[in-house]
Amino acid sequence: MTVQNAPSPCVASFDDVSIAELESLSPDELDALPFGVVGMAASGETEIYNATESRIAGLRPARVLGKPFFTEVAPCMNNNLVAHRFDNEPELDATINYVLTLRMKVTPARLRLLRSGSARRHYLLVQR
């Protein structure tokens, strides 16, 4: 009788993943996601920058981690549609269509903004 490995836990899609799921993933699991993941402290400093986002945006994590995300890493998102929503909405789960313009050619994307008072970090997911 052949013993098969148990299937690995499946992370929900870009549209369905929760903050709790993101918080429970290891760095390797975050890096394996097919969409960009940016995790920020309440202060706005970048604490998570997964491999997918790094590869597509062309920014190494060492250049991004510890930096204020909306002012130093992605100032093109420092506006009412993205950054200010994290400041003004204590509970947030919103998906918006967006056009990325910094450090890359103009690129249509979907952004998912996640914030919860019970979570350690705020999350910005990027699907291109």
| Segment 37-80, tens digit of pLDDT | 999 999 999 999 999 999 999 999 999 999 999 999 999 999 99
% of the chain surpassing 90 pLDDT: 84
Q: Which CA distances in Å does 46 have to 16, 79, 106, 107?
A: 23, 17, 23, 22
C-beta of residue 29 within 8 angstroms of C-beta of residue 11:
yes
Partners of 124 in the beta sheet? 38, 113
Give the homologous superfamily in CATH for domain 19-127: PAS domain (3.30.450.20)
Q: Which residue has the tokens 């709790």?
A: 20
Map out the domains of the chain as residue ranges: 19-127
pTM for the model: 0.89
Mean pLDDT calculated for residue range 3-9 = 43
Burial (CB count within 10 angstroms: exposed 0-12, middle 13-18, buried 19+), residue 65: middle
3-state secondary structure of 83: helix
C-beta of residue 34 within 8 angstroms of C-beta of residue 15:
no
